[in-house]
């Protein structure tokens, strides 16, 4: 079956522009995560959804970052007034249930470059 998909794969934005990044998780997966990965670093947690509920947004770096999953499936990460430090790969991951040991399946990421 299909894995996690993300779009766009690449996004170039001018500083100050708003962007929206989309994640389509694996069908039926309850949990959805967003991570930010800087070049040469490991992914860093941004936010977590269980179905449509955003249960943890402690990793969002500022109030310019906003995520939603209104119907418990597709999720959108929005970044307002982008800054150069927002340049990174944004990874989405989903897992079947919120249980110990359930692996997370990652999408290919969206590479955001802010000029």
Partner 1 sequence: GQNIDQPTEMTATEGAIVQINCTYQTSGFNGLFWYQQHAGEAPTFLSYNVLDGLEEKGRFSSFLSRSKGYSYLLLKELQMKDSASYLCAVRDHNNAGNMLTFGGGTRLMVKP
What is the binding site for partner 1 (CB under 8 A)? 3-4, 31, 33, 35, 40-45, 48, 50, 55-56, 91, 95, 98-109
Burial string for 79-114 (b: 16+ CB within 10 Å, else e) reads: beebeeebbbbbbbbbbeeeeeeeebebbebbbbeb
Tokens representing 41 are 């670093």
CB of 18 to partner 1, least distance (A): 25
Prior bond to 24 cis, omega within 30? no
Q: Provide, rounded to whole angstroms, the least separation between the CB of residue 74 and partner 1.
A: 18
Residue placing its CB nearer to partner 1 in the complex, 82 or 107: 107
Q: Which is nearer to partner 1, 1 or 42 (CB)?
A: 42
What tokens does 72 get?
Answer: 């418990």
CB 44 to partner 1: min, Å? 7
């Amino acid at each position: 079956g299909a894995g996690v998909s993300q779009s766009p794969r690449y996004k170039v934005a001018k500083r100050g522009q708003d962007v929206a990044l989309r994640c389509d998780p694996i069908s039926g997966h309850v949990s959805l995560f967003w991570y930010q990965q800087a070049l040469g670093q490991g992914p860093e947690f941004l936010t977590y959804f269980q179905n449509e509920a955003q249960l943890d947004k402690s990793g969002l770096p500022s109030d310019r970052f906003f995520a939603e999953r209104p119907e418990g499936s597709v999720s959108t990460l929005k970044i307002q007034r982008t800054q150069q430090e927002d340049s990174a790969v944004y990874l989405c991951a989903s897992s079947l249930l919120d249980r110990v040991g359930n692996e997370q399946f990652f999408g290919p990421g969206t590479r955001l470059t802010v000029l």
